[in-house]
Amino acid sequence: MKRQAKLFLVRHGETVDNVAQVYAGSRDSALTNHGYQQATRLGQHFKVLDLSFTHIFSSHLQRAVKTAGLIREAQSVPASEHGPARASPTVIELPVLMEKDFGAYEGKKFHELRADQSAPENSGDNKGVESRTSMSGRADKFLDEHLLPLFDGAASEPDLCIAIVSHGMLLSVLWKRLLLRLPPNSVTLAPELAAHARNSLEHLGGWSNTGFLELHMSMEHVTQPHPEPEPQPKPISSPSANDSDQSPKTETNSPQILNHDSAVRESEVAQTTDASISAPTGGQSSCKKFDSTWTTVILTVNGKDHLKGLKRTGGGVGSSRHDDSQKSIESFFKRRKLE
């Protein structure tokens, strides 16, 4: 039996703190009106692609929850003559998916942290800023307790479509930790992505607001053949000239597969025509992993097609905090037409 899974790692829409250029990790920053439109566009984009999510996970912070909610809202399909109603999955809010905690720098301008980091007297004080180790631990907890169980052989759903809505820095860590769980040499880039050289799979690039990383995964259960009876021992004889023909032959024209457990230099990536690239090293023996038959294709990196043509509303409105009680301009004019 073949199982398939589509996995989307999504960043939330634009927030008021993004616009103000201040640090907002644990700080519960709200979406701007423009960010709300970004998330709405994303939900509609997924709907047009005919995606039917089986699971939606989200950070518990409102900017991620509202983005996930708009994805979910677009999934709902009422009953019609064309078919029955389609329910959308409940958004599962998880604190482990929250952004990096910037400690004393929460709510402060970006340049303030850079200035402090360059000051020698502050080099030993992290001022409550969350460490990479802590973020990795949270990502591992999510993978072990929420994502990996969905891929178990005993899982009830044969095919999966999963959205994980989180934050830029956490998504970067989550992606690296996910790579540790995938089988060696099992991750490839789609042809249009493979045409551009990349240092490694670890560093695919950042996430724009509502940008997403799209992965298509598949696993085929291989039926094990019945064991053949063991051959009877034969008399030992001296090797003949034909013995060399029995050894495995190396295909000289097969594609080069790069080892996921090794680092790859930029020059090596540029020279290879194969889409497989190295995965991060270290710590692979201590975490749960996907079955060895799972393969993954990276289809989209920082997907933003849904944002084409979207313009920010002028007069400061687009950058203002979104208020759910406000009516959109579009809904206002629809009502005027009905009147």
Annotated binding site: 11-18, 63
| 146 secondary structure, DSSP code | I
Residue entry with tokens 């790692």: 9
| 15 secondary structure, DSSP code | B
Strand pairing partners for 9? 164, 213
Among 312, 158, 173, 186, residue whose Cα is nearest residue 260 = 186
Residue entry with tokens 């250029």: 21
Q: Are 152 and 3 in contact (CB under 8 A)?
A: no
How many residues in the chain? 339
**Residue 283 and residue 136: Cα distance in Å, rounded?**
11
- CB-based burial of residue 228 (10 Å sphere; 0-12 exposed, 13-18 middle, 19+ buried)? exposed
Strand pairing partners for 109? 22
Secondary structure class of 108 (helix, strand, coil): coil
Take residue 212 and report the two structure tokens written for it.
Answer: 């997403």
**Residue 24 and residue 164: Cα distance in Å, rounded?**
19
Q: Are 73 and 46 in contact (CB under 8 A)?
A: no
Residue 302 identity (one-letter amino acid): N
The string over 156-171, giving b where at least 16 C-beta atoms fall within 10 Å of a residue's C-beta and e elsewhere, is eeeebbbbbbbbbbbb
Binding-site residues from annotation for substrate: 11-18, 63
